[in-house]
Amino acid sequence: MRAVSDVSFAVAEGELVGVMGPNGSGKTTLFNLIAGALRPDAGAIRLRDRNLAGRAPHRVCAEGIARTFQLVRPFAGLSALDNVLVGRLYGRARGARHAAVGEAERLLALVGLEGKAHLLPAHLTLIDRKRLELARALATAPRLLLLDEFMAGLNPAETESAMALIRRIQGEGVTLLMVEHIVWALMDLSRRLIVLSAGEKIADGPPDAVAADPLVIEVYLGGTRGSARRA
Amino acid sequence: MTRARQLVLGPATVALLAVLPLVVRRDDVLNFLFLVLLSITLAQSWNIVAGYAGQVNLGHAAFFGLGALTTRTLWSAGTPVLAGMAAGAVVAALFALVIGAAAFRLRGAYFAIGTLALGEILRITVGNVLAEVSTLPATTIAGYRLANRYYLALGLAAVAVLAVAVLGSSRLGLGMQAIREDEDAAEASGVGALKLKLLALVLSTALAGLAGGLFAYYHISYYPAHPFSPHWTFDSLLITFIGGVGTVHGPVLGALFYVFLREYLAIRWVDFHLLIFGALFVAIVLLLPGGLVEAVARLRAFTRRA
């Protein structure tokens, strides 16, 4: 049984690439492979020509790949500031503690959590917890940031503000790879989409071209053969 | 508590306890305080690995026992007691590294089960091999000074509290707490979990080994298997939870409360004290997960509002 096989693609520095595909198509598995949470049986994962395949997640993070989780996973017993400090003190940019606090505060402000540094995650709303997780990931100074369904569970207004936030982060020079089910948001944010189906890449290109791709339409809407089964 | 107040209050308490034997010349008071100080050290050591790094050690007595056994053996053979205690700490930490390196690669209950098994295996082995009671030679008994034991206990408890205070506000301590909260998320944030868990375990067990050495120095005679008894583990666990797990002050408040209540109950209701502590533990976990430290904080917030 293969969750992901023969998926090859490259992401340029500063690019924002969207990953989509039906449930079970292997999007989260792909992220787990890149972030080191899963070890690939074959193939390579390269960041600036260094092969990271099979490395432990904390080593992958130290090389410059950070992630957020599909269901937010903040450190529940630590304040928002301490959550971000963990990323700052252990990620790629491990600095002195004194400078780290200032940087963590800057990142909290960047994601829109100013004034909430001393709150526990339980006292934050869902969108704020997502903002916190984003700040923690950014604190590790990633070259590549993996966002796993960052907008899931948000209302339309929150989705808009999350999109603005993602644009701001791209503006900071971070390369982004994002899995998203909210297709319109993904179409709007990215200039390039990759579509997975049953663990294989079936499309890779500009959003308009991908949306018009017959194979993609079949996978999403069900073709003549698939419709009866899906219904 | 603010940092400035801690910096005054901590040394002031130690100074007060240091002049106490000069003022109060009662052995029962010193013996009681010795037990409190020993309990602070052992509970604080358990707090490092379980409270901060979140790895529940159910065989802490094994490391306390190893420290006691090593110190007693070396000291009886003529080694200075402090050197014996240092050796005891090293032996305890080495044992911990072996069990930790194996158990920490697996998630979940493996570490708790592994340490529980280690503790029982060592207790039974020591009980069989060294079945005779260990008694100090007559010359040592003649020169026995309770004050020496008391001061050593005071110094060790101060070191334990200071170590946890420094650790708690350090980068390493923050990484350990992140592992406690969510190991996957900690790894994803760059925290090398295996290394930090082993570090927490080594610090914790070395301190437990020192406490064991103090036990061996204090008691004139005891069965060598006694310090391996699981009640040392569960005393530490109860004290830490009653006081406040994962806090600096928790084990201090917890030890004071627990030892006092235990001694009191042991006189009044000889066999009921375990039952009472069991109920107290359940009540604290359910109603006051932050322990006495949280109770104090809540009380303060309440009086400020009133």
Cα B211 to Cα A200: distance, rounded to the nearest angstrom: 59
**Which amino acid, one-letter code, is at A187?**
M
CA–CA dist A86, A140 (Å, integer): 8
CA distance A122 to chain B (A): 13
What b-and-e string marks burial along B23-42, b requiring 16 or more CB atoms within 10 Å of the CB? eeeeeeebeebbbbbbbbbb
Angle between helices A80-90 and B171-181 (to 10 degrees): 110
Tens digit of pLDDT for each residue in B127-159? 999 989 999 888 888 889 999 999 999 999 999
Sequence ranges of the domains in chain B: 12-228
Q: Could you give the ipTM of this predicted complex?
A: 0.89
Q: What pTM was computed for the model? A: 0.91
Q: What is the CATH number of the domain that holds A5?
A: 3.40.50.300
Tell me, yes or no, whether A70 lies in a domain.
no
Cα first-last separation, chain A: 25
| Residue A71 is assigned to a structural domain of this protein | no
Which has the closest alpha carbon to B205: B70, B46, B39?
Answer: B46
Q: How many CB pairs under 8 A join A and B?
A: 84
Q: Are residues A12 and A58 in the same domain?
A: yes
Does A25 reside within a domain? Answer: yes
Q: How far apart are CA A108 and CA A204, in angstroms?
A: 34
Q: Same domain for A221 and A160?
A: yes
Residues A172 and A224 in one domain: yes
State pLDDT tens for residues B50-107: 999 999 999 999 999 999 999 999 999 999 999 999 999 999 999 999 999 988 887 7
Up-side HSE of residue A67: CA atoms within 13 Å toward CB? 28
Tell which of A107, A139, A171 closes a domain: A139
Beta bridge partners of A46: A51
Preferred mutation among B171, B177, B189, B247 to probe A, highest tally of A CBs within 10 A: B189
**Domain shared by A104 and A179, yes or no:** no
Q: Are residues A149 and A183 in the same domain?
A: yes
Q: Which pair of structure tokens corresponds to residue B222?
A: 């005891």
Same-domain pairing of A146 and A134: no
**Are residues A125 and A147 located together in one domain of the fold?**
no
Helices B60-76 + B110-129 axis angle, to 10: 30
The boundaries of the domain holding residue A117 are 77-139
Within a domain: A69? no
DSSP secondary structure, A180-217, as one string: -S-HHHHHHH-SEEEEEETTEEEEEE-HHHHHH-HHHH
pLDDT of residue A229: 42
- Name which of A134-148, B103-117, B245-259 the model is least confident about: B103-117
Which SS3 state, helix, strand or coil, does residue B276 take? helix
Identify whether residues A111 and A93 lie together within a single domain.
yes
Do residue A50 and residue A81 come from a single domain? no
Closest CA to B18 of B209, B191, B175, B158: B158
- Exposed, middle or buried: residue B129 (CB in 10 Å: 0-12, 13-18, 19+)? exposed
Q: Between B178, B192, B193, which is nearest A75 by CB?
A: B178
Q: How many domains does chain A have?
A: 2
Asked if A76 lies within 8 A of B190 by C-beta distance, the reply is no
**Residue finishing a domain among A106, A124, A139:** A139
Residue A113 shares a structural domain with residue A126? yes
